Chains A and B, each alone.
Chain A
Amino acid sequence: MAAQLGQFALALAWVVTAYSVVASILGIRFKHDKLIASGRNAALGTTVCITTAIICLGYLFAVSDFSVKYIAAHSNRDLPFYFKISSIWGGQEGSLLFWGWLLTVYSSLVIMQNWRKHSSMMPYVTAVLMTTSLFFTSMHLFAVNPFNQTVILSSQTSPLPFVPRDGSGLNPLLQDAYMVIHPPMLYLGFVGFAVPFAFAMAAMVTKQLGDTWIRTTRRWTMVAWMFLSIGILLGGKWAYHELGWGGFWAWDPVENASLMPWLIGTAFLHSVMVQEKKGMLKVWNIVLVIMTYIMSIFGTFLTRSGVVNSVHAFAQSSIGGYFAAFIVIALSAALYLLFDRLPYLKSENQMESIVSRESSFMFNNLVLLAACFAVFWGTMFPVISEAVKGVKITVGAPFFNKVNVPIAIFLMFLTGVGPLLAWRKASTNSLKRNFLWPAVIALAAGVVLYARGVQHFYAWLSLVMSIFVALTIAREFYKGAKARSVGTGETFIEAVVNLTLRNTRRYGGYIVHVAFVLLFIGWSGQAFTTDGSSEMGVGDTMSIREYTLRMEKLGIEDTPNYSSDKATVGLFAYGNKVANLFPERRVYKAGQEPQPTSEVAIYSTVRNDVYVVFAGATPGGKKAIIQVFYNPLTMWVWIGGIVLVIGTLIALLPNKKTPIRKRQQPESLEEPKKVETSVS
């Protein structure tokens, strides 16, 4: 029943979405207000239909209805309930439905928020969002329908309905808490970029190419960017916990697919400020919005098409072609509009100096795009090589690290420099004032780091740059808070808080930059990873750097979902016990073949991680093969992620209009002294 209802909801969604597109376009064409309103209502109706479909799918998972093929392929009776729910996006059909659902939710929110404020633009925005939604609804209904029945095929009869006793289970790699949350975050990011794209298209069609569309979509873009950032970081956390190779980023094509729209989206978030402040880079901003949107779809194309080998092979199918066609159509339409509207996109101001805030944003954009191109080029090079030379090659982590690390460090340098340059033109004096001491202290710290053994060049440079950027940001906060504190009589802490809340975008942005300092510190630590392995029976020990591991116990655990070999490893630092770690080797029971995975155990501190893997057992099972990684500074990556979210949330807040508290006047007849405050 739920399957039929879901099927019906999908069919209805397709009709309603198609109607919304047609009604919006015809309503605009014939200036028919009722038709336009009808198109809007249909867009809201699409959300209801797809929500119904996704609830049906969740229900089918919850009750283990294996008469539905998708449920049988991605769940089993003994799967814990929360994994049953996350199985909704555990495979091709469900993840696309989930994507489509998020798109309709975003669309409804955008429509409800902006319909009255931007009445002339909104019918176009609705048409663009619903066209994207129509593509996804068509995919759900005709190509990857999650409600298709399980059938058995026979040569003599037509396919017969069949209900297996149990399902094949969710891929063991996806049975992880981070996988419950990582895909939704990623999709919220990908899908969110459809909103600025829709507004950009609407602005071009209506020729309203001032900064209204930019101001309207700024927060939407930041929300999408934040979700994409969280999604990427959680993906790294998942890989770190689940894949067991000791790292969190392997430059897998699908990881790269999420990084590319993120890089362009980051460029857009910076260049958009130049348009708002100076009325410049209008064409560039439209280009960036188009590219971010296209790259989001391209990411899905990479994941689904199988054109490149990936660890995410579980999501591959033959639908890549549809995505390729959609990309070509969307890109052609967007570029046609852009070229047609070029005369309306003239800059309102000119660059006055190469050393200015606006030019630094331009270079920041250039470097971000170069990084994106490097990732794109490396990801697609195997395909290009095969097409040109007929030889398929691999482009793995060593390539991406060699190419992207110097680019990333240069970007870090710009992160420190850019925000402190003045708009229009920075004078030599202000350059000296802002950068001399941070540069001197960073270099001195660099000497100390080198003397203390940090002699890997890129890691050293990255740490020095991180210190430089941290100091420039700290200086900005200090300068602003001190001026405010002197002017208002607030304590320094109060002044920092109020300063931030009165200009959330600027200081939230600085906090995001602090997050990148922390991320760079975490990444730099990866240059000093060491590892070792040993066959360990009970009582055996092995050492890595300052730690000693002692095998305390070897045991077996059996649950309905999996059985596992489990080790209890005592961890000692400088002779003192600091933790018990429980690495496991699990064998999941669902499916025709047992599926082994390793569950790593991690002891994490701000200095280093000890990462223990149950890599196997010796013949006879008396000893476990234990692999251990010593990963310095990894925790800073996750702390950086949290700071990034905090900074973005602050930047999303509206500026607080705090009443300026006047300093209490001394009870004297003297005139109060004037206080000089500097504004950067």
Chain B
Amino acid sequence: MRRVFRKVALITILAATPLMRAADRDERVRELSSKFICICGGCNQLLMNCNHLGCPSREGMLKDLRRQIDQGKDDNAILAYFAEKYGTTVLSAPPASGFNLTAWVMPFAALFIGALAAIYFLRQFRTRWADTQPSPDLAKYQGKVEEELKKFTPED
């Protein structure tokens, strides 16, 4: 009984392996094809998205991609192969190295610097505001005046 079970299990695994491999490969094709631009010129779409009728490049590029995956290459090697074969414009995003790193860093650097500048100005404003505050006695009355005024000013 155990032998039979082992045989069935072995046959199942052997039969399922190519299917699993195919599924893995499809998944990698899908993932990697979003990292390339179709080189047909004009549509400017990701290889995975490019499906316009009569596209002369898509099928060839996908075949090439499947071949590279079947050769057991890792993602970086495939990216390098495509960049070498089709030119650097085939990559859908600039690699995060060398000068291209600035493409990735600059937006966040701008946000960070902007945030620092905003906080700096807010602090400056607050310091100046504190300097221009009236004495506590006067502030007491001013607060009352503002409260009274508030009743006549619609809030937005």
Interface of A toward B, CB cutoff 8 Å: 243-247, 250, 252, 273, 277, 309-311, 313, 350-354, 359, 362-363, 366-367, 369-370, 373-374, 377-378, 381-382, 385, 388-389, 391-399, 402-403, 407, 423, 503, 505-506, 585, 596-598, 613, 615-616, 627, 679-680
| Interface CB pairs A-B, < 8 A, 10 | A311-B43, A381-B103, A395-B103, A397-B46, A398-B34, A399-B94, A399-B103, A597-B53, A598-B53, A615-B53
Q: Is B76 close to A, CB under 8 A? A: no
The answer to whether A381 touches B94 (Cβ under 8 A) is yes
Verify A243–B99 contact, CB threshold 8 A.
no
Kindly state the separation between the CA atoms of A309 and B89 in the bound complex, as whole angstroms.
Answer: 11
Check B91 against A354 for contact (C-beta < 8 Å): no
Instruction: Please give the distance in Å from A388's CB to the nearest CB on chain B.
Output: 6
**How many cross-chain pairs have Cβ atoms below 8 Å apart between A and B?**
139
Partner of B53 from the list A374, A385, A616 (CB cut-off 8 Å) is A616
Question: Which of B5-13, B14-22, B66-74, B117-125 forms contacts with chain A?
Answer: B117-125
Say yes or no: B89 contacts A252, CB within 8 Å. Answer: no
> B153: shortest Cβ distance to chain A, in Å?
9
A398 to B46, CA, bound (A): 9
Closest to A366 in B: B114
Task: A399 to B104: give the CA distance in the assembly, Å.
Answer: 8
Q: A385-B94, A598-B53 are in contact. Are A503 and B156 (CB under 8 A)?
A: yes
CB-CB under 8 A for A350 and B46, given A377-B103, A385-B94, A396-B37: no
Q: Are A393 and B100 in contact (CB under 8 A)?
A: yes
Q: Of B37, B42, B44, B110, which is in contact with the most chain A CB atoms at under 10 Å from its CB?
A: B44
Q: Which of A309, A369, A396 has the largest number of chain B CB atoms within 10 A? A: A396
Interface string of B49-74 (1 = CB under 8 A from A): 11111100000000000000000000
Known: A359-B118, A369-B114. 12 other contacts (CB 8 A): A311-B44, A351-B122, A352-B129, A353-B126, A354-B126, A378-B107, A393-B89, A394-B92, A398-B34, A423-B155, A596-B54, A598-B52
Q: How far is the CA of A403 from the CA of B42 in the complex (A)?
A: 24
A585 contacts across to B, CB distance below 8 A: 53
Contact with A373, one of B45, B51, B107, B121 (Cβ below 8 angstroms): B107
Asked if B79 is at the interface of the complex by the 8 Å CB criterion, the answer is no
Q: Closest approach, in angstroms, between the C-beta of B62 and any C-beta of chain A?
A: 12
Q: In the bound complex, how far is the Cα of B89 from the Cα of A600, in angstroms?
A: 29
Contact partner of B44 among A252, A389, A503, CB < 8 A? Answer: A252
0/1 string, B82-124, CB within 8 A of A gives 1: 0000001111111000011001101110110011001101100
Interface residues on B, range: 35 or more
Closest to A389 in B: B99
The distance from the CB of A283 to the nearest CB of chain B, in whole angstroms, is 11
Q: Is B135 an interface residue (CB 8 A)?
A: no
Contact of A395 among B43, B45, B94, B99 (CB under 8 A): B94
Q: A378-B103, A398-B92, A403-B104 are in contact. Are A362 and B118 (CB under 8 A)?
A: yes
State whether A243 and B89 are in contact (beta carbons under 8 Å apart), knowing that A351-B125, A370-B111, A679-B155 are contacts in the complex.
no
Complex contacts, A373 vs chain B, CB 8 Å: 106-107, 110
Bound complex: CA A597 to CA B35 (Å): 25
* Cα-based distance from A537 to B126 in the complex (angstroms): 73
Flag if B125 contacts A350 (CB, 8 Å).
Answer: yes
Cβ–Cβ < 8 Å partners of B104 in chain A = 399, 402-403
Contact indicator B44/A309 (Cβ below 8 Å): yes
Measured CB to CB, the nearest residue on chain A to B37 is: A394
Closest to A246 in B: B49
- Assembly CA distance A56 to B67 (angstroms): 58
Chain B residues whose CB sits within 8 angstroms of the CB of A352 once the complex forms = 126, 129
Contacts of A397 in B (CB 8 A): 46, 92
CA distance A407 to B111 in the complex (A): 9
**Cα(A366)–Cα(B107), bound, Å:** 12
A350 x B129 contact (CB < 8 A) = yes
Q: A250-B45, A396-B46, A403-B107 in contact; A680/B155 too (CB < 8 A)?
A: yes
| CB neighbours of B91 from chain A (8 A) | 393-394
Q: Is B154 part of the binding interface, using a Cβ–Cβ cutoff of 8 Å? A: yes
The smallest beta-carbon distance between B156 and chain A, in angstroms, is 5
Contacts of A363 in B (CB 8 A): 115, 118
From A247, A370, A403, B114 is in contact (CB under 8 Å) with A370
Pairwise interchain contact A399-B99, C-beta atoms closer than 8 A: no
Chain A residues with CB under 8 A of B100: 385, 393
User: Does B128 reach chain A (CB closer than 8 Å)?
Assistant: yes
In the assembled complex, the Cα of A311 lies from the Cα of B44 at a distance in Å of 6
Question: With A and B bound together, what is the CA distance between A596 and B55 in angstroms?
Answer: 10
Q: Would you give the shortest CB distance from A366 to chain B, in whole angstroms?
A: 5
CA distance A396 to B35 in the complex (A): 9
- Please measure, in the bound complex, the distance between the C-alpha atom of A273 and the C-alpha atom of B42, giving whole angstroms: 43
Q: List, in ascending order, chain A residues with CB within 8 A of B110's CB.
A: 370, 373-374, 377
- The 5 A-B residue pairs with the shortest CB-CB distance, nearest first, are A374-B107, A350-B129, A396-B92, A351-B125, A370-B111
**Is B118 in contact with A351, judged by CB distance below 8 angstroms?**
no
> Which residues of A have CB within 8 Å of B106?
373, 377
Name A356's closest neighbour in chain B (CB-CB): B122
Could you tell me the distance in whole angstroms from the C-beta of B110 to the nearest C-beta in chain A?
5
Q: Could you say which residues of chain B place their CB within 8 Å of the CB of A243?
A: 52
Residues of A within 8 A of B155 (CB): 423, 679-680
CB contacts (< 8 Å) of B156 on chain A: these are 273, 277, 503, 505-506
